[in-house]
Amino acid sequence: MKNLFKLFSIIILIITSNSYSFAAEKVEYLKTDWSFKGIFGKFDRASLQRGYQVYTEVCASCHSMKYLSYRNLAEPGGPEFSEAQAKAIAASFEVTDGPNSDGEMFTRPGKLSDKFVMPYDNVKAAQAANGGAYPPDMSVLVKARGGGVDYIYSLLQGYEEAPSNVSLDDGVYYNKYMYGNKIRMAAPLSDGLVEYGDGTNATVEQMSKDVTTFLMWSAEPHLESRHQMGFKAIVYLIILTILVYFSMKKIWSRVESEV
């Protein structure tokens, strides 16, 4: 029994240590307390709502979020705007619809069922407007980067003067957390760039944390129910395992052998 436990802990250890850690030159990312980490991790609603504000006022001018719909903003486990608020948010965007009965495309205010409106019509248009670099879609961005939330959080605060031995082309910026340190995005945040409705002080650090929290939710919208279900599932399995263990002992007591 003890041995079995040892076996399983070794297995977990081997697998997790085998997971890819590829950052060629390892940089220490900035650390902060994420409310969504851990077995009972949940999103901070206020932070998600502020994060949405940062996304929509700052990031959304270049970065799309094509897998999200406005209805998601009112769903449980997310920013949980009221339905009226989400409807108002959706209605503030112009959505192209159609063709109508005359065969014409037309625009109308957004509805809850609409996907987030994209800043550019297509990838080429996005590249043309950004000096050839495509601002990546942000829907699953956190999961698409090795360092995850810590990487995004650090990157947003990682803009610095380039060291004297690094020469930068026009439209390229120095960021100490970026792979290769060169990034085509200018520092997107500055203190007081947005005005938070709840009176929170909009420092770069605060905005970075809020928008990263929002991106974590957008990449894993069911994170909260996953954590809750996982806890129940594992507790259930542990209890069942204990019961089966004693049944096994009872059954095997009939034969002269150890289990």
Partner 1 sequence: MSDHDYRPKSKVGQWFNDRLPLLTLANHLTDYPTPKNLNYWWTFGGILTFCLITQIVTGLTLAMHYIAHADMAFESVEHIMRDVNYGWLIRYIHANGASMFFLAVYIHIFRSLFYGSYKAPREIIWIIGIIIYLLMMAAAFMGYVLPWGQMSFWGATVITNLFSAIPLVGEGIVTWLWGGYSVDNPTLTRFFTLHYLIPFLILGLVVLHIWALHVPGNNNPVGIDVKKPSKDTVPFHPYIVIKDGFALLMFMIVFAFFVFYAPNILGHADNYIEANPMVTPAHIVPEWYLLPFYAILRSVPDKLLGVVAMLSAILILAVLPWLDTSKIRSAVFRPLYKQFYWILVADVLILGYVGAMPAEGLYLLIARVATAYYFLHFLVILPVLGFKEKTLPVPLSITEPVLGGSPNLAAARNKESKIE
Positions in the binding site for partner 1 (CB under 8 A): 3-4, 7-8, 11-12, 14-16, 18-20, 22, 24, 39, 67, 72, 136, 139-140, 143-146, 148, 179, 219-222, 226-227, 229-231, 233-234, 237-238, 240-241, 244-245, 247-248, 251-252, 255-257, 259
Q: How far is the CB of 23 from partner 1 (least distance, A)?
A: 10
Closer residue to partner 1 in complex, CB, 166/239: 239
Q: How far is the CB of 21 from partner 1 (least distance, A)?
A: 9
Q: Which residues contact 119 (CB under 8 A, 6 or more apart)?
A: 60, 61, 62, 63, 64, 126
Q: How far is the CB of 103 from partner 1 (least distance, A)?
A: 25
Closer residue to partner 1 in complex, CB, 106/245: 245
Q: How far is the CB of 226 from partner 1 (least distance, A)?
A: 6
Closer residue to partner 1 in complex, CB, 19/164: 19
Q: How far is the CB of 248 from partner 1 (least distance, A)?
A: 5
Closer residue to partner 1 in complex, CB, 24/186: 24
| Separation CA 188–CA 195 (nearest Å) | 15
| Separation CA 60–CA 137 (nearest Å) | 10
Place of tokens 């610095």: 160
Q: How far is the CB of 203 from partner 1 (least distance, A)?
A: 28
Closer residue to partner 1 in complex, CB, 45/227: 227
43, 42, 68, 44: which is closest to 55 by C-alpha?
Answer: 68
Closer residue to partner 1 in complex, CB, 108/226: 226
User: Can you give the three-state secondary structure of 41-73, one letter per residue?
Assistant: CCCCHHHHHHHHHHHHHCHHHCCCCCCCEHHHH
DSSP string, 159-216: B-PPPTT----TT-EEBTTSTTSEESS-----TTSS--TT-----HHHHHHHHHHHHH
Closer residue to partner 1 in complex, CB, 15/105: 15
| Separation CA 146–CA 150 (nearest Å) | 9
Q: How many CB atoms lie within 10 A of CB 173?
A: 17
In the chain, count of helices (H) and strands (E)? 7, 4
Q: How far is the CB of 183 from partner 1 (least distance, A)?
A: 16
